[in-house]
Amino acid sequence: MEKRKLLFLVLLIGVILPTFLLNSCKEDPPPVDPFETLKNYLVTNNLDLNDILVDWVIAPKDVDSIQKDADANNDFYIMDIRDAADFALGHIATAVNVPLTNVVASAANAAGKTILVVCKTGQTAGHACVALRLKGYKAKVLKWGMSGWNADFDVWTAKTASIAVGNANWDAAPGNIVADADYSYPTITTTETEAVKILDERINAMLSSGLTLVSGSDALATPGNYFINNYWTAADVTSFGNLKGAHRINPLTIEANEIKKLDPSKTILVYCWTGQTSSMVSAYLKVLGYNVKSLSFGVNSLIYSNLTDPKVKWTKSGSFAYVK
């Protein structure tokens, strides 16, 4: 009997020990890097920044024409993200009032139509547009916002200024762009491991933070407080100059690692002509984990008198109809 017990134990050890040794020699899977997971997902699904910044803005006159033509199938589903009080004072016909934080949840109501996002100036709408496009919806921004739709809503005119002209903190043409260096990626803190869930979490965080702005006067007074990215072409800088200390990182993609030229340890200030493109860029960078602000009203708030192109220089509101 004792021999049988001993034999059984020997056989049992012979089965268990190799299994234990085999499993104990296996390496633990590498930890999930949320940023790399998100980065790979965005690149694989054609959601890099250069993919998002395609045909995203439309002029008021073109919206009016589309909404009035005989083809109802091309009409926009209009989301007006202004607060309820502003919406009640007047809005584009058929528009629905949706808070910025709810745009993704409300997008299913578009029933396949292209979503037009409307705000006061065209700036905050960029954040909504990025969120919607990252989630696979067709979305555009109304250029100049309701300010461009009708003069009754104009807040642009009062915000134009030329305070940077002749100021020591504006490097006049041909400009003086800072040389780039490579930095690490930002750290994304999350308990999620799946790319789609990480993206959803980051989109919600971006929308919850809202559009974070720096006024032209503050940027001009303390440009050293920010890692500044002038989102222009090289020719534009040569023609108009730049904020002192600015980099010019454009294109700014994750696939080509151009975003590694941004310092994640600093507050990044992005500026463009009108503040609309910079809202799109800053929203995208927030999703990636950067601390980003946008220059309010773009360089229309800094060098307005130097601008000539009506595509980038505020001129006047339209006179398109609205309802209350």
In whole numbers, what is the pLDDT of the chain averaged over residues? 93
Averaged pLDDT, 300-315: 97
Structure-block tokens of residue 125 = 């709408």
Query: Residue 11 — pLDDT band, cuts 50, 70, 90?
Result: very low
User: Torsion over CA of 31, 32, 35 and 36, rounded to 10 degrees?
Assistant: 100
- Structural domains of the chain in order of their starting residue, each with its CATH number: 34-157 (3.40.250.10), 170-306 (3.40.250.10)
Please tell me the predicted confidence (pLDDT) of residue 116. Answer: 99
Determine the Cα–Cα distance for residues 286 and 293; give it in Å rounded to an integer: 9
Query: Would the pLDDT of 7 be above 60?
Result: no
How far, CA to CA in Å, does 91 sit from each of 83, 119, 121, 302, 314?
A: 11, 10, 13, 30, 21
Averaged pLDDT, 303-319: 97
Averaged pLDDT, 2-9: 52
Please tell me the predicted confidence (pLDDT) of residue 28. Answer: 53
Averaged pLDDT, 161-181: 98
Please tell me the predicted confidence (pLDDT) of residue 12. Answer: 44
Determine contact, residues 295/275, Cβ cutoff 8 Å: yes
Please tell me the predicted confidence (pLDDT) of residue 104. Answer: 98
Query: Would the pLDDT of 14 be above 60?
Result: no
Q: Residue 285's Cα: distance from chain center in Å?
A: 6
pLDDT of 103-138, one tens digit each? 999 999 999 999 999 999 999 999 999 999 999 999
Query: Residue 32 — pLDDT band, cuts 50, 70, 90?
Result: confident
Determine the Cα–Cα distance for residues 269 and 275; give it in Å rounded to an integer: 11
User: Mean pLDDT lowest for which of 9-18, 125-134, 260-269?
Assistant: 9-18
Query: Would the pLDDT of 15 be above 70?
Result: no
User: Mean pLDDT lowest for which of 6-15, 112-121, 276-285?
Assistant: 6-15
Beta-strand relationship, 268-271 and 292-295: parallel
pLDDT of 217-253, one tens digit each? 999 999 999 999 999 999 999 999 999 999 999 999 9
The residue that leads in pLDDT, 66 or 12, is 66
Kindly report whether the global pTM for this prediction surpasses the value 0.85: yes
Query: Would the pLDDT of 2 be above 80?
Result: no
* 3-class DSSP string for the chain: CHHHHHHHHHHHHHHHHHHHHHHHHCCCCCCCCHHHHHHHHHHHCCCCHHHHCCCCEECHHHHHHHHHCCCHHHCCEEEECCCHHHHHHCECCCCEECCHHHHHHHHHHHCCCCEEEECCCCCCHHHHHHHHHHCCCCEEEECCHHHHHEHHHCCCHHHCCCCCCCCCCEECCCCCCCCCCCCCCCCCCCCCCCHHHHHHHHHHHHHHHCCCEECHHHHHHCHHHCEEEECCCHHHHHHHCEECCCECCCCCCCCCCHHHHCCCCCCEEEECCCCHHHHHHHHHHHHCCCCEEEECCHHHHCCHHHCCCCCCCCCCCCECCCEC
pLDDT of 172-227, one tens digit each? 999 999 999 999 999 999 999 999 999 999 999 999 999 999 999 999 999 999 99
Query: Residue 8 — pLDDT band, cuts 50, 70, 90?
Result: very low
Determine the Cα–Cα distance for residues 144 and 318; give it in Å rounded to an integer: 10
How far, CA to CA in Å, does 234 sit from each of 152, 222, 248?
A: 37, 24, 8
Query: Residue 262 — pLDDT band, cuts 50, 70, 90?
Result: very high
